[in-house]
Structure 1
Amino acid sequence: MSRYGGGGPSDDDGTQQHGGAQPVGGTPPVPGPEYTQEQLDAMSRDELIKLGGELDGVKIIYTEQPAAPGSRADERAERQVALAFTGAGLSALAFMVAFPAWPWRQELSPEFQLSALFTPVLGLTLGLSLTLLGIGIVLWAKNLMPYEVVVQDRHEGASPEIERQTTAATLMAGLEDTGIARRSLLKRSLGFASVMLGLLAAFPLVGGLIKKPGDQLFRTPWTEGMQLLSVSGTPVRPGDMRPGSLQTVFPAVEGGARSADGVAMLIRLQPDQAARYTSREGQEDYRWNDFVAFSKICTHAGCPVSLYEQDTARILCPCHQSQFDAVNDARPIFGPATRSLPQLAIEVDSDGYFVAKSDFTEPIGPGFWERST
């Protein structure tokens, strides 16, 4: 006989056991009173719940209804829960509006900009949405659902069919106790919050595609004749650096020291390294004597490249250990990066200061769909 056959094995006294699946081990469940399928079908749900409690040895120690259904206290609690769920949905909607609409690009200016609030606004709306959803659930459980304390003895193994049906009836009664079936306001507000939070979870995946960045990924603040400034804001001259040294430089524009895409590395190669320096085709005049300048943004994941090994002329990214050869056009020689660091064409002006000959001739940083290099 199959474990899930229609009849079960008989006891020694010939009594037929109820239930399909039989316990594999442990103490088998004690069969309850004999009821036919017709008798079970004829019982109301309340009768099945009562019968299930008797079969499972459930004892109700304490029960309390927070408020009588339809009373002023009940309606007030329902409005509070609905208000929390509605607020959660509106906060999620605000997140999805702010994600593409709020200005996010930081301009090079010391004045306050709305873009500085982009991340805080997203965090506030997301956090408020989840907080209000949690408050609504807590208020619902505390003020609208009945509170019971019960004690139940458990047995090992699978339960007989009669207990499965009575358990199903108990679960359905529990669903009805939540009041969701008769509280249309709660259903609408909870449905609204659920839809908005579901969209919110997926929105960051597609929200970034709504507003294209235009040409912002193809240009930086560098222009022809712009001086290279040190971190202190002073122009850099060739005599300021020793062979084998590196200096971080910024474009000479207002707020240039905070330029995320304009930051560059000015490197003075050692004499033997400068003698064997090779450049890409069309960029032979990008260096000045033994000085070269490259973007400080790693082409793998956009981390700031900040380490330089002067004996080997290797530029190192601390995030994922990519290494670039400064003598060979900053080409990657180790790690996950696959493209050379973009090179900034430099020269020395009539006052003896380093200046850029143009902007970077290729996009800086990691790859993206529209770039061709």
Structure 2
Amino acid sequence: MTREELDRLGARLDGVEILHTEPAPPPGSKVEKAAVRQVTITFLLAGLLSLLFLVVYAGSGWFLPDWAWVSSDDGWSAYFTPLLGATMGGALLLVGIGLVLYVKKLLPHETAVQDKHDGSNFDRVTTGATLMGGLEASGLPRRKLLGGVLGLMGAGVGVMIIAPLGGLIKNPNTGNPLGTTSWNTGVRLVRDDGTPIRPGDQTPGSLETVFPAVPGGDFQSDAATMLIRLRPEQMAENVPKQGQEDFGYGDYVAYSKICTHAGCPVSLYEQETSRILCPCHQSQFDVTQGAKPIFGPAARSLPQLPIGLDDEGYFVARSDYIEPVGPTYWNRERI
């Protein structure tokens, strides 16, 4: 028996009653060609949007100028999340529209009623014939362009959906991100406007917030550092932490701006008392005692950044912090 005959036989044996039949548009007719164009364009746009999603997600510089995502309120990075949402949402919407158009305009329609029954091997054979008949009726085998575009769209949308899972597979702890910052040997200390600092730029008793001279350094929450120039009387009282006696430079010291209690910015400095205050929970640190906590809930000292000068006489870091910045991710004893 032919596939069509098996299809009809299976329908009769399955107790299927066809109430109404509406054939598909005749092959090669103007109606069919117009419908094929609509569906093809819709699926093509869905595939292109899914590919655009991958371009944005991967941060490819060949498509968007200077495309490297950083935490910023301007530039392309400010549109990173909206672009991801727009491209993925648009692709999925067009897939739905394309499927609806395909079913409505290119497939034959029939209304049938079927009694429920248990399956058998004969049912599987006739069901296979029905499915193959449906594929033949869909016109995909002879609509090569539409089939190719459908494959492109399916591949693009599939990869678009799978791509974000890479963030779950990738090990987030590679490179010890919780224990390191972007400070490194030779990295200059710069103000938020990017200007470097030399000894003598600050008056004794003053504090300057500095950042690493790396791309996006002024937006990195763990990199903010306080460069403090001690007064002569403070220098006389200064007792660095053991093993960190050479971390300062002359009368300059640099400490993390991130409170070791809850991560708030400790930007209040009382030079008369040599205390740095955290405005969130009132922790206080003594800069003449290695930024040791002397009041409040903070349990350990602010990490000190070892500093020196480069060949041009500007302040640079001699290494990263040797202690984790902020409240950290394990309990530590009071230091």
State the TM bucket, normalised to the shorter chain. Answer: 0.5 to 0.7
Alpha-carbon separation, structure 2, partners of 1:181 and 1:187: 8
Tell me the equivalent position of 1:193.
153
- CA shift at 1:82, angstroms? 0.9
Show the 5 A alignment for 1:152-301: 152-155=114-117, 158-201=118-161, 205=166, 217-218=182-183, 222-223=189-190, 225=197, 249=209, 259-261=219-221, 262-264=223-225, 278=241, 281-282=243-244, 285-286=247-248, 293-294=255-256, 296=258
Alpha-carbon separation, structure 2, partners of 1:346 and 1:89: 53
Tell me the equivalent position of 1:146.
108
Alpha-carbon separation, structure 1, partners of 2:91 and 2:42: 9
Tell me the equivalent position of 1:74.
32
Change (3 A) 1:85 1:236: farther
Change (3 A) 1:294 1:288: farther
Change (3 A) 1:106 1:53: closer
Change (3 A) 1:63 1:325: farther
Structure 2 residue matching 1:180: 3-state secondary structure: coil
Show the 5 A alignment for 1:358-373: 358-359=316-317, 361-362=319-320
- TM-score (norm: length of structure 2): 0.57
Alpha-carbon separation, structure 1, partners of 2:88 and 2:259: 30
Q: Which moved more, 1:196-205 or 1:304-313?
A: 304-313
Does the 8 Å contact 2:249/2:307 carry over to 1?
yes
Alpha-carbon separation, structure 1, partners of 2:32 and 2:143: 11
Structure 1's unaligned 5+ residue stretches are 1-42, 209-215, 228-234, 241-247, 268-273, 299-303, 315-322, 331-341, 348-355, 367-373
The letter of the residue matching 1:129 is: A
- CA shift at 1:183, angstroms? 1.1
- TM-score (norm: length of structure 1): 0.52
Does the 8 Å contact 2:248/2:254 carry over to 1?
yes
- CA shift at 1:188, angstroms? 0.9
Tell me the equivalent position of 1:310.
283
Show the 5 A alignment for 1:87-126: 87-98=45-56, 99-101=59-61, 102=64, 103-106=67-70, 112-126=74-88
CA deviations over 1:50-86 (Å, ceiling 9, x no partner): 2112211111122223533321111111111111121
Change (3 A) 1:250 1:93: same
CA deviations over 1:276-323 (Å, ceiling 9, x no partner): 9845x346544999x97225399xxxxx92365738949xxxxxxxx9
Tell me the equivalent position of 1:83.
41
Does the 8 Å contact 1:88/1:130 carry over to 2?
yes
Does the 8 Å contact 1:106/1:113 carry over to 2?
no
CA deviations over 1:331-369 (Å, ceiling 9, x no partner): xxxxxxxxxxx633589xxxxxxxx95447317989xxx
Percent of pairs with identical residues: 31
Count of residue pairs the alignment pairs up? 256
Alpha-carbon separation, structure 1, partners of 2:317 and 2:225: 11
Does the 8 Å contact 2:140/2:147 carry over to 1?
yes
The letter of the residue matching 1:131 is: L
Tell me the equivalent position of 2:300.
326
Change (3 A) 1:188 1:293: same
Does the 8 Å contact 2:69/2:80 carry over to 1?
no
- CA shift at 1:187, angstroms? 0.8
Does the 8 Å contact 1:288/1:346 carry over to 2?
no
CA deviations over 1:9-31 (Å, ceiling 9, x no partner): xxxxxxxxxxxxxxxxxxxxxxx
Structure 1 residue matching 2:319: 3-state secondary structure: coil
- CA shift at 1:225, angstroms? 3.5
Alpha-carbon separation, structure 2, partners of 1:177 and 1:169: 12
Structure 2's unaligned 5+ residue stretches are 171-180, 191-195, 229-236, 265-279, 285-291, 309-313, 327-335
- CA shift at 1:193, angstroms? 1.6
Alpha-carbon separation, structure 1, partners of 2:96 and 2:150: 12
Alpha-carbon separation, structure 2, partners of 1:226 and 1:142: 73
Tell me the equivalent position of 2:173.
none
Alpha-carbon separation, structure 2, partners of 1:293 and 1:56: 80
